[in-house]
Amino acid sequence: MMKYIYIFICFFIISCHSIDDKLIVDIEIPLEQAYVEIYHTVSGDKIYSSFYEDLNGKQLSIESLPEDMYTICLVWERTFVPHKLFKRKEGKIVFDIDNKFYLIKDIYLNRNQDNRIKLRLNEVLSKEDMETANYYQDVLDVISTSEDLALSLVYEHVYEEADSLNETQHKIWSRNLIDYIAKNNWDEARKVNILLKSDSLDRFKSEFVNMKFNSLAVSNTESPVSTYYIFKDLLANRNFNDFRKAFFLLEGRAKLSPYYRMVKNQYDNID
């Protein structure tokens, strides 16, 4: 009898362990004929790809992923391909030679905090709606109890804010240009046209993201998520002086991130 009890206990422990080692993805999105892909955000390596099927109500069980930043994609064959998308090179709407659409979300996964995530849309949209939406419009929600994942979504939202503000400013300048031309105010029209052709909006976005990231990092000094986003911005812009104070305030788990050593080495070389 004791032998069978022992076997049952061992089986129970192994079963629980195997569940905890997996990432469970619950999908609550009415998508027919689509699939899920997961990439390591920094390396670009594909970690997982599901079957092409009806995803609504689907539960995916994925082998354990080390704590890090990942890109989760919902992928399907395009239903609508406007001409302008052939020229778009940035943002969340992507057109490639396979004629696929990728709905993308970058998230920080830490299974020690939560090994389950739920995917859903924050508004009711058809495939065509999502394919033709503005590139900064983020419609994919990721639900989890993980504090690291939640913080990564806050950081990601900064990019959406910056893109939205840039889009608004571009529309204002474009309207002003039309008004000045209509009034034969060529001096003002020339000034606005210069702004539209300059890198002013790119610089604004960089400064806005810089300010927001610094604020978030100072408020979350023990999070490895802060380490990652400082690393990401420094990798793109090399603005080491701007992040010096925030970086050297990092502590605890934030300093255990592999990205901490990468950034620290850069500061050591500068100093």
> pLDDT tens digit string along 119-165?
998 888 888 888 877 544 578 899 999 999 999 999 999 998 998 89
Bridge-based pairing of strands 23-27 and 46-49 is: unpaired
CA separation (Å) from 177 to 163, 164, 166, 188, 193?
A: 21, 20, 16, 8, 7
The token duo for 90 is 């940035």
| Cβ contacts of 151 within 8 Å, gap of 6 or more | 108, 216, 220, 223, 225, 226
pLDDT digits (tens, 9 = 90+) for 207-245: 999 999 999 999 999 999 999 999 999 998 899 999 999
Alpha-helical segments (H) within 35-94: none
d(CA 197, CA 177): 12
For residue 252, what are the contacts with CB-CB under 8 A and spacing of at least 6? Answer: 221, 222
Q: Where are the beta strands (DSSP E) in 14-146?
A: 23-27, 35-40, 46-49, 59-62, 68-77, 100-109, 116-121, 140-143
Among 42, 192, 209, 196, smallest CA distance to 136 is for 209
**Side-chain-facing half-sphere of 4: CA atoms under 13 Å:** 1
Task: Indicate yes or no: pTM above 0.85.
Answer: no
Looking at the predicted structure, is the pLDDT value of residue 93 above 80? Answer: no
Rounded CA-CA distance 234/49 in Å is 30
Tokens of 83: 């001409």
